[in-house]
Structure formats: structure tokens, C-alpha cells
Structure 1
Amino acid sequence: MKQTLLDRLLGPLVGVLLGLLACIVPDRASAFCGAAARRLGPWLPHHRIGRANLRAAFPDKNKAWIEATLRDAWENLGRVTGEYVHLGQIWDFDIHAEQAGRITTDAATLALFDELRADNKPALVFAAHLGNWELPAIAGSAHGLGSAVVYRMPNNRAVAKRIEAIRKPLMGRLIRTRPEAVFEMAAALNQGLHLGMLVDQHFSRGVPIDFFGRQCWANPTIARLARQFDCPVIGTRAIRLPGNRFHVTATGPLDLPRDASGKIDVSAATQMMNSIIEGWIREHPGQWLWFHRRWRQNRPRRPDQAR
């Protein structure tokens, strides 16, 4: 693919930005980028998308609440950006000194990680663009679980290489979203790995679900793999706390709906996972990525396409 002048400039610019952020301690990098995004975000076109999404999702909330929540969401996005180069430092969980670090969790989540590590089986893990959404991808590897993470590679090759260099030491096997990715996912599960992916954005080849009272199209990949492999499905999130700390929790294994044949019902299972995500967002609306066109309409689909 031929690179434009902007493409050629973007790689070095991102490299300089990441280099500068790496020179700042994590807390200050997070605070600086969060403050910048909180101030500049409302002037961007995506702010209108976020406002429309929030109004539809929370019709009972007033204008002041909507705008305050959007500013919180911009700040969260900025903080995720500032924290990116420091992910290895931010993940400092120590079961013997939990309150001393940035990462906290609960007994149920630790027990679930222990169970997944001991059963020698594959598992599927879903997450959302909530809090710092990069941290759940680190959790599995950090707790000794063989892990694979599905991710979307940036279009700019130079930027993609820099991002991959940050992720690779922390997140286990990396699987790029591309046509052959489904075969790589299946291979990872066949090898007993724990496969994670973000599932809360628009997916044009997806299945229709109800999300905040409106129809949208969701990624059914985890449900389809669960149907094929009949393995545990877990939800994870890393909620931002005051003082640049995070609370990481896991939900599951889910008792996914099944069809008359006893196999996982792909549409119903996808709905169940997204209903859980909706609940997470309702708890922390200022930590979700509202600036995405989540409720786009697709062309009508044949009934057999959801299988």
C-alpha cells in the first residue's frame, strides 16, 4: 500500500510522543494526557457523536450531566493514551501487598484465575473499552495463564510496529484482526490458551442485539468460538479508581444460553455478553468510549447468518 506524506510523518511523530511520555513518570503522563483530552475533546467532531449516544442511552439525564460525563470520558481516553507506554509499570499487582500498588482485585477474581490456570483448558475472555481497557489483556499473562489477545493493528505501519513493541512483552500471543485471524484464534484455543478480545464496538458482519434499549450490531466471534469449543467464557474489566489505581475483576464462567440441540446459541450468547457490558457502563458511564458510532444500522440479514 502506497504511503501518503501524512503516513510518513505520523510514524516519527507518534514515536516522539511515545518517547516523551516514556520520560515522564506514569502518574504525570496519565494526568497530562487526561487534562489535555478533557479540555480539547469537546471541540472535536466526535464529541457530537458522544453526546447523541449518551442522550439516547440515558434519556432521563439533563444536559449538565451529559456534558460532565462526556468530559470524564475524554479524560479517561486521554489517560489511557498517557498510560500506554507505562503499562508494564502500572501492572504492579502483588497478592502479598495489594494495597501498596496500583492494581487491586477481589478474592473471587483471584480464585477464578487460579481455576483457569489449573484446569489445563482453553477459555474465552471478553472486555470493553472501559476504564483502562489495555489492562485486562495483561492480567492473564501476569497471573501465569497462557494467553492470546486479538487486536486491531493501526493502519500506519510505523505506528503499528511501535504499538506492537509495547504490547508483545506484556500480553502473550498477539493476533491481528484480519481475514485469517479466525484460524489463528482456533489454533490458540486448540493449544489451550486463554483468548481475549474487545467486543463492544460496531461490527458490520455481526448479529443484532439490544444495547441500551436500541438495536445495534455486535461481534459474535466469542460466541461462535464458544459454540465450537464449548469452553469457559469470562468477562473482565479494569475500572479506574482515584489516585491512579485500578480495580480489576472477572465475571464468570458464564452459563451461556443454548439452542434445542444443546449447543451455544450464538445470538443469545452475544446478547448476554453485551448486556453484562451495558451493566458495567451504567456503573461507570464516564469511563466508556462514547465517541464511537456504536448504533449504526446494517443491511437486513438472512436468518442463517447468525449461526
Structure 2
Amino acid sequence: MLRLALLLNRHLPRLAGLAMIPLVRGLFWLARALGPERASACGGALTRRVGPWLPAHRTAIANLRSAFPERDEAAIQALAREAWDNLGRTGAEYAHLHTLFDIDETDPANQRITADGIEHFANLRDDGKPGLIFAAHLANWELPAICAAKYGLDATAIFRPPNDAATARLVQEIRRETMGGLAASGQGSVFSMQGVVERGGHLGQLIDQHFTRGVVVEFFGKPVLANPLLAKLARHYECPVHGVRVIRRPGVRFHLELTPPLDLPRDAGGAIDVQGATQAMTRVVEGWVRENPGQWLWMHRRWRPNMLPKPKVAKG
């Protein structure tokens, strides 16, 4: 009996994950059957109602109060509901990622997605050099990687797999269907990412979440830990760094903006300064979030003061 209990304890999480696969796929096919507009609306309505009852809502409210101390409680709660709505819509839109970027250039009124800075995509594609692109969890943050693939840009997107095995499997299938190269973040992944850049490829990364081994930068006036990978690669390979963001419009429509290459700060020796470059990218992201705060992922614990490195005390 004890052996059976130990065996169940070891394998129950995996069995539960396997049991979730039919449910997750069923929800996916239901969203696809509903069509993009109804699926997105249903996803948003669901999370708008359920989200405020979840523990992550407290994180979102605390983050919003910290970022916007000048706003009253009603405004903070409204922004949190918008963020939940955006999250639900983004989840439901996974079922339609393969069609969201269909562009009818002869009829702009029927375009789901418009874009500024497409000339920068073309330059990245045709200049024969490696390039780096940073993004944030804004609106439907999967779209930049699809845009790159649509325009023939050899790009590899760095992603963090979902914790749930069933969801992770389905999400990866969808991403491989619609995007270019993919690289899962984790131990040993840095070497594969370096390989992409060394081969003259392009690397895209979401940079707006907490990174335990990161460098300290300022975000909304408070210190946070940010991933310095893109800054380190830019320093080592002297390649351009662009930012890309997505703005959600009514009716499952989106606008993408790709910035010109950033003029990153350099140290006394002329090399790109890693901390300064990471701060420059973070400052761009903050500007994006301030413009559309209801479309950012406020449920993430971005500010963790207890995890910041302690200042060194001079001896003697």
C-alpha cells in the first residue's frame, strides 16, 4: 500500500496533466468554431468576471497602485478589469493565430492588422546582419513573431513554456504552425541563442518580466530586475536592437509598431553598456505601457524589492 501511495504521489501530477489535454483541446476547438470575434469576446468576458476573484488580482491591483499613485481606486479597478479582458481575449485568440495576420493589401478596411515600421522589418531581413528585437506582454503579444514570419524575416522567438503540460503542448503546436524559429528559455538556452545571432539570424524576446539573475533597472520609478540577454548580445555582436509593440483595437484588430534601431548607451571604451542598454529598452516598454495600461499583463509580480541585490558596504 505504501508503495502504491508513493507511486501515485510521483505520477499524479503527470496523470492530471494528461487528463487536461482533452479539455484544453476541446476549449481550443470551441474557440475556433466560434470564430475570432465571438471567441475573443467570450474569452474577455470570462476573465473579466473570474479574474477579480483570483489571487493574481491582488497582484494586479498592487502593481497598478504602485505604477499610478495619482489614480483613484475606481480607475485602478477599471484598469485591472481591462487587463483581465485583454488576457482572456489573447487566450481565446490562440485558436485563430493562423488567420489573424491575413492581410488584404487591396482593401485596407478589411485588414485585421496594420503596421508602422515595416521598412525596418525589410531592412532587418535584407541587410545580411544579425538583429535583436524586444517586445512586451501588450495586447496579443504573439503577433510580432507571426509578422516576422509573414514578411520573410529569419527570426527566432524566445518563449517560456506554460507550466501546464497540456497547455504547453498545444501552444507550442500553434506557435510552430504560425511562427518562425522558436527557442524555449531555460538552462543551456543561451548557447542556442548565441548560435542564432552568430549565423546572422534575428532574435526576439519579451523583456518585461522579472528575471532573478538580471540587472537592476528602473521601471515606473522603482527598481526591478530585467533580463540583460539582448543587451549582452548587442554588446558582443554589435548588432541593431529594435522594439516592437502591439496595440489592441476594437473588433479583434491590432496595430503593430517596429521602432528604428535604438541608439544604446556605451561605456568609456565605446562598447555597448549592458545595464544602460537594458535600461533604455525598459524605458521604451514603460512608455508603451503608459499609453495603453489596460493592455499590459499586470498580474505578474514585476516589482520584487526583497529580491534585489543588496548594496555593497565598503570596508574599513
TM range (shorter): over 0.9
Q: CA deviation at 1:163?
A: 1.1
Is 1:210 the counterpart of 2:218? The answer is yes
1:246-298 per-position Cα deviation (integer Å, ceiling 9, x unaligned) = 00011120011111111110101001101100000000000000011100132
Residue 105 of structure 1 aligns to a residue in which SS? strand
| Partners of 1:87 and 1:206 in 2: CA distance | 31
Within 5 Å, give how 1:179-198 maps onto structure 2. 179-198=187-206
Residue 35 of structure 1 aligns to a residue in which SS? helix
1:25 corresponds to which residue? Answer: 35
Amino acid at match of 1:25: G
Q: Normalising to structure 2: TM-score of the pair?
A: 0.91
How many matched pairs? 301
Is 1:274 the counterpart of 2:282? The answer is yes
Is 1:36 the counterpart of 2:36? The answer is no
Pick one of 82, 87, 95 that aligns with 1:77. 87
Structure having the higher Rg: 2
Residue 136 of structure 1 aligns to a residue in which SS? helix
1:90 corresponds to which residue? Answer: 100
Amino acid at match of 1:124: L
Seen in structure 2, the aligned counterparts of structure 1 residues 94 and 182 have a Cα distance that, compared at 3 Å, is farther
Q: 1:11, 1:156 within 8 Å by CA — same for their partners in 2?
A: no
| Partners of 1:99 and 1:247 in 2: CA distance | 13
Residue 168 of structure 1 aligns to a residue in which SS? helix
| Partners of 2:241 and 2:105 in 1: CA distance | 24
1:122 corresponds to which residue? Answer: 130
Residue 70 of structure 1 aligns to a residue in which SS? helix
Amino acid at match of 2:259: T
Q: Percent identity?
A: 50
Is 1:15 the counterpart of 2:15? The answer is no
Q: CA deviation at 1:178?
A: 1.6
1:68 corresponds to which residue? Answer: 78
1-10 vs 238-247, greater mean Cα deviation: 1-10
| Partners of 2:181 and 2:191 in 1: CA distance | 14
Unaligned runs of 5+ in 2: 1-9
Q: CA deviation at 1:185?
A: 0.7
291-300 vs 229-238, greater mean Cα deviation: 291-300
Amino acid at match of 1:55: R
Is 1:167 the counterpart of 2:175? The answer is yes
1:135 corresponds to which residue? Answer: 143
1:128-161 per-position Cα deviation (integer Å, ceiling 9, x unaligned) = 0001101011111111111111111123433322
| Partners of 1:241 and 1:114 in 2: CA distance | 25
1:6 corresponds to which residue? Answer: 16
Residue 33 of structure 1 aligns to a residue in which SS? helix
1:40-70 per-position Cα deviation (integer Å, ceiling 9, x unaligned) = 1111111111111001100000111101111
Amino acid at match of 1:13: L
Q: 2:156, 2:180 within 8 Å by CA — same for their partners in 1?
A: yes
| Partners of 1:20 and 1:111 in 2: CA distance | 37
| Partners of 1:99 and 1:264 in 2: CA distance | 43
Residue 174 of structure 2 aligns to a residue in which SS? helix
1:300 corresponds to which residue? Answer: 309
| Partners of 1:180 and 1:16 in 2: CA distance | 34
Q: CA deviation at 1:23?
A: 1.5
| Partners of 1:192 and 1:256 in 2: CA distance | 20
Q: CA deviation at 1:301?
A: 6.1
Q: 1:239, 1:247 within 8 Å by CA — same for their partners in 2?
A: yes
Q: CA deviation at 1:6?
A: 2.9
Is 1:57 the counterpart of 2:67? The answer is yes
